[in-house]
């Protein structure tokens, strides 16, 4: 082998080094792991949602909210102790909108953080009772027609929060602060009729 | 496919991916870019498991950063910048010296051509990190100094001077491998 005395590669060196670009190959399972990782962070649409990205967008937001909601707000991770929610209960139904739909996946990370911060504030203030993301799979059961599948585009409900508030006006005021509105979503507020189990002291 | 068409195609795929979370668009991008990213990561950290993690993190960062990517370089150049930065972080956390000797395959016997592939791999693995990344990108992957400058956010002149030092260091390492470790 001829060795260059300057910093130029001789043809043999050049060939050997360029030959390294033929390997090593990436592991075959890595692609799926990357896809799963992106999907778990809301950066890829799930298979069921792929054709209805507006639904997926809101769902990924609510998924993030409730990931934080369930894991941090109601979990046992040592966050600050919140007062027990008291008062009348209201369900906030989070529905989709076209403006939320146009968000790109990366922006949804910021959305999730915004929702999470809101949920955290409600929890620490003793106003948040529960929250869940709703799966896209919908079935409709009726006495006359039996069980029918409801197509994703026919449903706009992405998730819900259950909050406690002293009055409907107070519940509306809480809902007004939810970032879902600022992002173009709609919130349906429904009072929950009290039952003895719900309001046991 | 001309470079311009390829770039437009990549951009269309990237937008389809980040705007709509389109999995098929992402997989197409992944399959085009990952062989390069994995090679760079593997040779930067000399460990297959760590290279896996780096490539995975690279795609995650890329997915999050795509909206702010201005397309003033190719997607590949941008991704390479991410993978090199992520590799540097990994090396800070666990220096390669701890792992490299176990991870890399045994070199050939001393009477073989020192430019044999395995010896070459080891010589590259033993280069200082800054030299290694420039040599990998320029001499192995065929990047120009201007592209390296874009990817690593350095001056092209810095890339040139680093490459000269990297090549010199690699030659010294190969000569030492001939003369030293295999003498008994």
Question: Is any Cβ of chain B less than 8 angstroms from the Cβ of A137?
Answer: no
| Contact yes or no for A83/A144 (Cβ under 8 A) | no
Asked if residue A3 has pLDDT above 50, the reply is no
Strand partners, A94: A159, A187
- Cα Rg of chain A (Å, integer): 25
Predicted local distance difference test score (pLDDT) of residue B103: 54
| Dihedral (CA of A83, A87, A89, A94) sign | negative
pLDDT digits (tens, 9 = 90+) for A168-184: 999 999 999 998 888 77
Q: What is the pLDDT of residues A157-169, one digit of tens each?
A: 777 899 999 999 9
- Residue A87 CA: distances (Å) to CA of A119, A124, A193, B9: 18, 15, 12, 57
Q: Which tokens in the block code for residue A192?
A: 């929950």
Q: What CATH topology corresponds to B1-103?
A: Rna Polymerase Sigma Factor; Chain: A (1.10.1740)
Q: What is the pLDDT of residues A66-111, one digit of tens each?
A: 444 443 343 333 334 556 777 889 999 988 754 444 444 555 566 6
B172 shares contact with chain A (CB less than 8 Å):
no
CATH architecture of the domain A27-191 equals 2-Layer Sandwich (3.30)
User: What are the residue ranges spanned by the domains of chain B?
Assistant: 1-103, 105-184
**Chain A neighbors of B26, CB-CB under 8 A:** 35, 38, 44
* First vs last C-alpha separation in chain B: 54
Residue B70 DSSP SS3: coil
Other Cβ atoms within 10 Å of A197 Cβ, number? 6
Looking at domain B105-184, its CATH architecture is Orthogonal Bundle (1.10)
Look up tokens 């620490």; give the residue.
Answer: A124
Pairing outcome for strands A138-142 and A146-150: antiparallel
pTM: 0.57
Q: Which residues contact B74 (CB under 8 A, 6 or more apart)?
A: B7, B10, B147
Would you say A133 and A159 are in contact if contact means Cβ atoms under 8 Å apart? yes
Q: What values do phi and psi take at A163, rounded to 5?
A: -120, 165
Q: Which of B56, B20, B26 is nearest to B38 (CA)?
A: B56
Least CA distance to B31: which residue of chain A?
A31
Cβ contacts below 8 Å, chain A against chain B, sum to: 119
Chain B residues within an 8 Å CB radius of A34: 30, 55-56, 59-60
- pLDDT tens digits in sequence order for chain B, 184 residues long: 566 667 778 889 998 888 788 899 999 999 999 999 999 999 999 888 999 999 999 999 999 888 788 888 899 999 999 999 999 999 988 876 654 544 555 444 444 455 577 788 888 888 999 999 999 999 999 999 999 999 999 999 999 999 999 999 999 888 877 666 544 3
Q: To which residue do tokens 């298979």 refer? A: A47
Q: Which helix (H) or strand (E) holds A158?
A: strand A157-165
- Which residues lie below 8 Å from residue A5, measured CB to CB, with a gap of 6+? none
């Amino acid at each position: 082998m001829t060795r260059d005395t300057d910093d130029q590669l001789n043809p043999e060196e050049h060939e050997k080094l360029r030959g390294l670009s033929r390997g090593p190959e990436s592991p075959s399972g890595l692609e799926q792991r990357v896809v799963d990782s992106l999907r778990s962070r809301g950066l890829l649409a799930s298979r069921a949602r792929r054709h209805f990205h507006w639904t997926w967008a809101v769902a990924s937001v609510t998924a993030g909210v409730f990931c934080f909601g369930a894991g941090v707000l109601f979990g046992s991770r040592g966050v600050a102790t919140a007062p027990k929610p008291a008062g009348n209960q209201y369900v906030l139904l989070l529905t989709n909108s076209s403006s939320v739909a146009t968000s790109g996946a990366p922006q949804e990370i910021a959305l999730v953080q915004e929702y999470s911060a809101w949920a955290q504030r409600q929890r620490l203030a003793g106003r948040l009772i529960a929250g869940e993301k709703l799966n896209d799979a919908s079935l409709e059961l009726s006495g006359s027609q039996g069980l029918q599948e409801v197509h994703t585009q026919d449903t706009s409900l992405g998730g819900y929060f259950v909050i406690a508030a002293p009055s409907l006006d107070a519940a509306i005021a809480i809902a007004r602060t939810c970032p879902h509105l600022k992002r173009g979503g709609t919130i349906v507020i429904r009072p929950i009729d009290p039952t003895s189990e719900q309001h046991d002291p | 496919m001309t470079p311009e068409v390829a770039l437009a195609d990549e951009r269309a795929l990237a937008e389809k991916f980040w705007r709509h979370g389109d999995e098929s668009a992402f997989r197409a991008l992944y399959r085009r870019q990952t062989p390069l990213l994995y090679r760079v990561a593997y040779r930067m950290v000399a460990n297959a498991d760590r290279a896996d993690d780096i490539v995975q993190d690279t795609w995650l960062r890329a997915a999050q950063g795509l909206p702010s990517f201005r397309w003033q370089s190719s997607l590949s150049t941008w991704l390479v910048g991410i993978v090199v930065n992520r590799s540097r972080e990994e090396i800070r956390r666990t220096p390669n010296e701890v792992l490299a000797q176990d991870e890399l395959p045994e070199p050939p016997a001393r009477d073989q051509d020192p430019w044999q592939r395995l010896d070459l791999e080891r010589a590259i693995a033993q280069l200082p990190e800054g030299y290694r990344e420039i040599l990998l990108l320029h001499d192995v992957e065929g990047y120009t100094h201007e592209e390296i400058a874009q990817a690593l956010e350095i001056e092209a002149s810095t890339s040139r001077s680093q490459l000269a030092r990297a090549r010199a260091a690699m030659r010294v390492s190969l000569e030492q491998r001939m003369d030293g470790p295999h003498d008994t």
